[in-house]
Amino acid sequence: MFLTLCLTVPVVAYLCGGANGAIIFSKLVYHKDIREYGSKNPGFTNFKRVFGPKLAWFVFLFDILKTVVPVLSAAFLFRYFGTDVTEDASLLWKFGAAYAGIFCMIGHAYPVWYKFKGGKTFSCGAAIVWFIDWRVALVVAGIFLLSLLLVTKIMSLSSCLAALCFPIGTLTVGLITSSMGTTLYLIMVIINFLGAALLIFRHKENLGRLFRGEEKKFYLFGHKTSEEKAPESGEAQPTEEK
């Protein structure tokens, strides 16, 4: 049964992860394609900058839910039907969540639904970590919010920092609890590092702008500039974030 789950979960998780809230809401509500405005990234931050905060949080919620469903389902399935590998239900849960999560992130980044052009996986990652280890996720969330709201105020940098801290956190917990001696836990930690690497890679353009001093700061509410707004008429040309 464990092998069957390993073969079926990636497909379902990838397809669910590929559903993009920013693209769906921009087309349904505004009749525009978010990929043509601002930074052209179909994600929460660019959606908020282009269309404002009114529906941006619904985009974020959509991307969270489309991740939670397959991740939570996989965690349950591995926990109750993966016992042919180990009887450790907690370990099976964590592995299932991480395993489905990485494919959700891949689906979000490279969705078959949108010609393999997707978002930067932050919203997916933000949902996944809570099902793997809520204690580490709590610490990482604190680091992320501290960086975003008080220190850097830059979403991309804060996201990459949080992404890197999570696998390091699960590795540390594994070493402290001696769980690293378990093959399944080791694989789970490796998956976490791969997820962090994917998120950081997807932010490479943001990091490039950051090094050039051109990356824009994130504001929780408002601050949508005229340069970022989607044009009201079909004649106006979309702008690209520099």
- CB neighbour list of residue 176: distance below 8 Å, 6 or more residues apart: none
SS3 per-residue string spanning 179-208? HHHCHHHHHHHHHHHHHHHHHHHHCHHHHH
**Total residues belonging to the chain:** 242
CA distance 234 to 104: 34
Q: Taking residues 97-120, report their average pLDDT.
A: 94
Phi first, then psi: what are they for 154, rounded to 5°?
-120, 120
Residue 242 has pLDDT above 50, yes or no: no
CA distance 168 to 85: 26
**Distance from chain centroid for Cα 188:** 17
Residue 110 has pLDDT above 80, yes or no: yes
Residue-wise pLDDT for 153-197, tens only, equals 898 999 999 999 999 999 999 999 988 889 999 999 999 999 999
Q: Specify the pLDDT at position 46.
A: 86
120 in Cβ contact with 199 (< 8 Å) = yes
Residue 240 has pLDDT above 50, yes or no: no
What pTM was estimated for this model as a whole? 0.85
CA distance 57 to 220: 10
Q: Specify the pLDDT at position 223.
A: 53
CA distance 95 to 79: 9
Better pLDDT: 102 or 235: 102
Q: Taking residues 68-89, report their average pLDDT.
A: 93
**Distance from chain centroid for Cα 157:** 14
Q: Taking residues 10-39, report their average pLDDT.
A: 92
